[in-house]
Amino acid sequence: MMNLTLLTLLAEGTRHQLGLSGHHSHRGGMCRPAQTMFARSDISTEPLDLDLVPLTSVDWPLRDGSWYHNKWNDLETRFSASNTSPEPETASSVWANRHPEPLPQISDQIFRTAFEAGEEDYQKLIEREAFLKENGAMVAKKSPTHYHRRSYMKLKTHNPQQSRHNYIKEYTTRAIVNKFDLKSAAVDLQFLETAEARCDIRPTSCNARNRFRTADGTCNNLDNPVWGASFTAFRRVAIPDYADGVSELKEAQNGSPLPSARLVSTSINLPESNRNNGNCFTLLHMTVGQFLDHDLTLTPIFTESDGSAIECCDVNTASQHPECETITIPTNDPFYSQFGETCMEFVRSEVAETCTSGPREQLNALTHYMDLSQVYGSTLEETESLRAHRNGLLLSQDQGADPDLLPTSMEEDDGCNVADKIDEGQYCFRAGDERVNEQILLTLLHTTWLREHNRVATTLKQLNPRWRDDRVFQEARRITIAEWQHIIYNEFIPGVLGLNLVKMMDLAPQFNGQFTNDYDPTLSVAISNEFATAAFRFGYVSSSITIHEAVSAVRYSFTRPFQNEINQVSSSSGTLERELNSVLNAPFPLYEDGVEEGLVRGETSQRAMRVDTSFSEEITGQLFQGDEPFGFDLIALNLQRGRDHGLADYVTVREACGFGRVRSFKQLGRIMNSDALRRLKNTYRRVEDIELFVGGMSEKPVRGGQVGPTFACIMADQFLRLKRGDRFWYEYSGSPSPFTRDQLRELHQVTMARVLCDNHPDPGEVQRWPLALPTSSNRKVSCASTRTIPSLDLTLWDE
């Protein structure tokens, strides 16, 4: 049987094929990959990039905030070691270098008084919300804010009373910090003995013999049942950086405000003439990255106490909701000035429950595990609502002779549905993640994986007619998640991090049915704030301006959302280009004949943009524009979100990765594009002011990868945790119900190409490794060729 387990592309002389000598970027003309995968035994043996060498001395996984808490949580340990030196093997870590600062004696009475003051402040907040509502401060429908917020304001089954307590606790922490001048020690307030333990401690017990993972991620870790569960806090790679030590947006090193996020966006944006799309990856690679992000992270934003959206820009500053942090748009802005816009809406992220005092943390509404929660949901209630409760199937729309589509969202005010489309019987879709309709290729991938689950479930039921609905569903879910995990680690991650780093971190899957035995119950799988809010946003901002759709003997019309613009196509063969903005929250073409096949062909042939600081106007001014002639700036939103979350600066995060302290802009000359560095120097007063997102985006990519060393470090740490911290990992021999060796051998043959072939009506041909561009060594082949693109033999699950 052919060994298709890992990427071989870069093992065939990667530097010469891709033109990756030293720090040179990918050169499209020299890109001739056999695949973006490698065989484990053939992983590149080239020396590690010079800029990645410091990572070899780091004790992986990184020493992070959860490690710091566990190490110093014991009172005796905390103060008996107050004068000791940091651990020598981890001296590069900002957490390992830190000792808790001595805290003053804070009596129960002082804490209680602070808590009561917090309750009073919360009551004032409720009164202000009522005042704003009475005075008509509401988000306008069909505005950019309306469409953007709909995906991030839903708290699903999150307990509103818990949100209230989190908010009061933050006020309490701030009162204590101010009373005792503890700004620099705010992070150590987590060790306060007097902190009230009003926590969601679900569940009280776990059954270690349960065969299947829970919908909400609880009980994956038996020692810490809520680790990785939905609605729990992100962890920290570096110490949080808030202006007041608790929650106020971060400032520059000298205490002055940082430049407007919009000003930073326009200042660091490389000119269009510098825009280079030369890499070896397809648009599908970008979409898979976005789909993966929606499996791992969703940070809800604050809403009013009744769940409605918060309006900021049209409200007098003095009367604004406390969670408003609007982005100032300069009066001479190169784009927004023509519309007279000087304010961009921005509402802060929800506060997470941490069961301790200390700085603000943000919550992840999804499970932190790689478990296809974007398909199945992150709560039991969501999962149940998405099931057909028949033969193990997920709900879908029957399309007669055509393959099923996703179930419909019947909510007319969901930020996607349009009246004239509803009249035609065309609704937007729903899935395990609210962002399913965000862009049409994402919706298509949701459709692919829904069909894959149902395809697997249908076959399992035929093989095992005595299995009840729940058994079929759970077994199909387990197999489909295993396929997803394998594809991500075999086809996606190597193209982001490069083969050398994958090898160093042992991130490559096994092959030929081999198991792993490296599950670590002491390892927190939680997604890091730095990963969710900066590093893994690299793919969004590198989206292509247009989406190519291969067309063949197809004629149809397509209405651009909320506008009277009609694009018509009539062609026997050729390519239709859709502007990115025209497919945001507009999945309706998927109802039309021929569109689906064209999109699959287009996304597996179109070259993805390279990762850098050159951003299109559709990303920086027209995102979710709705009825308006302008929309949001995604780069500005990313920057403001980083400030909202108290992300440490770029230099500090580099240090947390073991790269050493950067003390001048000049030191960055070797790892950054010269033009990007010049722009950063002109934007920020000091090198320590550079924000993580733009600093990471400005780095030259590692050899064979798409991101620079800092983002690569953050992602490698996260992907290592997702693999070793998951008790249900598909290759783990100690899983409650591990696959047999023969079953695992079949799963090691799974490819994204086969998933596409099995779930789309007429893909015709697809390259063996569709996340990489078709080339002479990655030729398109017929989906009927099971020798080149093997099928999963489900008869091995016949009981």
Residue 122 has pLDDT above 50, yes or no: yes
Nearest to 98 by CA among 65, 58, 134, 53: 65
The CA-to-CA distance between both ends of the chain, in Å, stands at 24
pLDDT for 144 equals 58
User: Other CB atoms closer than 10 Å to residue 318's CB: what's the count?
Assistant: 5
> Which has the closest alpha carbon to 351: 232, 235, 230, 236?
232
* Contact criterion met (CB below 8 Å) for 270 and 542: no
DSSP code for 439? B
Q: How far apart are the C-alpha atoms of 104 and 692, rounded to whole Å?
A: 33
d(CA 412, CA 317): 32
pLDDT band at 581 (very low <50, low <70, confident <90, very high): low
For residue 632, count other CB atoms closer than 10 A to its CB. 22
Count of positions (residues) in the chain? 799
Q: Is the dihedral of CA 346, 351, 357, 359 positive or negative?
A: negative
Residue 287 CA to residue 266 CA, distance in Å, equals 25
Q: Distance between CA 361 and CA 355 in Å, rounded?
A: 11
Amino acid (1-letter code) at residue 351: V
Catalytic residue list: 294
Determine the distance from the C-alpha atom of residue 83 to the mean position of all C-alpha atoms in its chain, rounded to a whole number. Answer: 40
Q: What is the pLDDT of residues 79-105, one digit of tens each?
A: 555 545 444 444 457 898 888 988 888
What pLDDT shows up at residue 767? Answer: 95
User: How far apart, in whole angstroms, are the C-alpha atoms of residue 37 and residue 29?
Assistant: 20
Q: Which two tokens stand for residue 50?
A: 């010079």
Overall average pLDDT of the 310-315 stretch: 88
CA distance 167 to 163: 6
> What pLDDT, on a 0 to 100 scale, did the predictor assign at position 28?
34
Say which residue the tokens 């307590």 belong to: 165
Q: Are 431 and 375 in contact (CB under 8 A)?
A: yes
Burial of 344 (0-12, 13-18, 19+ CB in 10 A): buried
> Using CA atoms, how far apart are residues 633 and 339, in angstroms rounded to an integer?
14
Q: Cα 739 to the chain's mean position, in Å?
A: 28
212-226, 317-331, 757-771 — most confident range: 212-226
- What does DSSP assign to residue 281? B
When mean pLDDT is compared across 360-364, 630-634, 724-728, the lowest value belongs to 630-634
Across residues 711-732, what is the average pLDDT?
A: 98
Q: Is 251 helix (H, G, I), strand (E, B) or coil?
A: coil
DSSP lists the bridge partners of residue 570 as 555
Residue 541: pLDDT band (50, 70, 90) is: low
Q: Which of 26-35, 183-192, 207-216, 702-711 has the lowest mean pLDDT?
A: 26-35
Q: Mean of the pLDDT values across residues 305-318?
A: 84
pLDDT of residue 26: 38
The mean pLDDT value for 315-327 works out to: 89
What is the reported pLDDT for 121?
A: 87
Query: 26 a known binding residue?
Result: no
How, if at all, do strands 402-405 and 397-399 pair?
Answer: antiparallel
The strand ranges marked E within 245-284 are: none
Give the model confidence (pLDDT) of 641-696 as tens digits.
Answer: 999 999 999 999 999 999 989 999 999 999 998 999 999 999 999 999 999 999 99
- Looking up tokens 């009981």 gives 799
pLDDT-based confidence at 745, cuts 50/70/90? very high
- Which residues lie closer than 8 Å to 461 by C-beta, 6 or more apart? 391, 392, 467, 472
d(CA 511, CA 514): 6
The Cα–Cα gap between 335 and 734 comes to: 56
601 and 576 Cβ atoms separated by less than 8 Å: no
What whole-number distance in Å separates Cα of residue 186 and Cα of residue 240? 10
> Is residue 585 a contact partner of residue 438, using CB atoms and an 8 Å limit?
yes
Residue the block writes with tokens 């997470």: 352
Which region holds residue 217: left if phi is over 0, alpha if psi is between -120 and 50, else beta? left
Name the residue type at position 384. Answer: E
Can you tell me the distance from the alpha carbon of 530 to that of 711, in angstroms, rounded to the nearest whole number?
9
**For the chain, what is the mean pLDDT?**
84
- Listed residue (186, 497, 507, 500) closest to 358, CA to CA: 186
**What digits encode the pLDDT tens for the residues 453-463?**
999 999 999 99
The alpha-carbon radius of gyration of the chain (Å, integer) is: 26
> How would residue 268 be classed by pLDDT, with cut points 50, 70 and 90?
very high
What is the mean predicted confidence (pLDDT) over 603-628?
82
Structure confidence at residue 542 (pLDDT): 55
- The yes-or-no verdict on residue 625 having pLDDT over 60 is yes
- Look at residue 588 and tell me whether its pLDDT is greater than 70: yes
pLDDT number for residue 277? 57
- The residue extents of the domains of the chain are 108-268+300-364
**How much is the average pLDDT of 337-346?**
95
| Phi, then psi, of 145 in degrees rounded to 5 | -65, -40
Placement of tokens 């927190």 in the chain: 524
pLDDT digits (tens, 9 = 90+) for 475-503: 999 999 999 999 999 999 999 999 999 99
pLDDT over 80 at 626, yes or no: no
Helix and strand numbers (H, E) in the chain are 25, 12
Residue 796 has pLDDT above 70, yes or no: yes
How many Å apart are CA 47 and CA 503, to the nearest integer? 11
Render 17-68 in DSSP notation, one character per residue. HHT-STTPPP-GGG---S-S---GGG---SPPPGGGGGGGGS-SSP--HHHH
Q: What is the number of other CB atoms lying within 10 angstroms of the CB of residue 392?
A: 26
Within 13 Å, how many C-alpha atoms sit on residue 560's CB side? 16
Mean of pLDDT values over 540-568: 39
Nearest CA to 493 out of 749, 734, 139, 485 is that of 485
Please state, in angstroms and as integers, the Cα–Cα distance from residue 252 to each residue in 258, 266, 649, following that order.
5, 19, 9
Look at residue 38 in the predicted model and tell me its pLDDT.
46
**Which residue type sits at 547?**
I
User: How many Å apart are CA 215 and CA 790, to the nearest integer?
Assistant: 30
Please report the pLDDT score of residue 211 as a whole number: 96
* Whole-number percent of the chain with pLDDT over 90: 59
Q: Name the DSSP class of 12.
A: T
